[in-house]
Amino acid sequence: MKKYFGTDGIRGRVGQPPISADWILKLGWAVGKVLATHPSKRNQVLIGKDTRVSGYLLESALEAGLSSAGVDTLLLGPMPTPGIAYLTRTLRVNIGIVISASHNPYYDNGVKFFSSEGMKLADDLECAIEAAMEETLVTVDSRKLGKAVRVRDAEGRYVEFCKSTFPTFLDLRGIKVVIDCAHGATYRIAPGVFRELGASVFEMGVTPDGFNINDQCGSTYPIPLANKVLEEKAHVGIALDGDGDRVIMIDETGAVVDGDELLFIIAKWYVETKRLTGGVVGTSMSNYGLELAFKSQGIPFCRAAVGDRHVLEMLKKNAWNLGGESSGHIICLDANTTGDGIVSALRVLAVMAFTGRTLKELRMGMTKLPQILINVPVANSRINLADNPKIEFALKVAEDRLSGHGRVLLRPSGTESVVRVMVEGQNSDIIQSVAEELAEAVSSSV
Q: Say how many residues make up the chain.
A: 446
- Convert 299-325 to b/e letters by CB count within 10 Å (16 or more is b): bebbbbebbbbbbbbbbeebebbbbbb
Phi, psi of 122 (to 5 degrees): -65, 155
Is 102 a known active-site residue?
Answer: yes
Dist. CA 150–CA 161, nearest whole Å: 20
Dist. CA 397–CA 394, nearest whole Å: 5
Dist. CA 14–CA 55, nearest whole Å: 10
Dist. CA 317–CA 121, nearest whole Å: 16
Tell how strand 330-332 and strand 322-324 pair up. Answer: antiparallel
Active site residue: 100, 102, 344, 413, which one? 102
Q: Tell me if 290 sits within 8 A of 303, measured CB to CB.
A: no
Dist. CA 105–CA 119, nearest whole Å: 25
218's torsion region: left (phi>0), alpha (psi -120 to 50) or beta? left
235 by Cβ neighbours in 10 Å (0-12 / 13-18 / 19+) ranks as buried
Q: Tell me if 350 sits within 8 A of 170, measured CB to CB.
A: yes
Whether residue 300 is preceded by a cis peptide bond, meaning omega within 30 degrees of 0, is no
* C-alpha distances out from residue 155 to 75, 185, 323, 436, Å: 12, 10, 26, 45
> CA nearest 310: which of 289, 287, 286?
286
> CA nearest 164: which of 346, 340, 331?
346
Catalytic residue ranges: 102
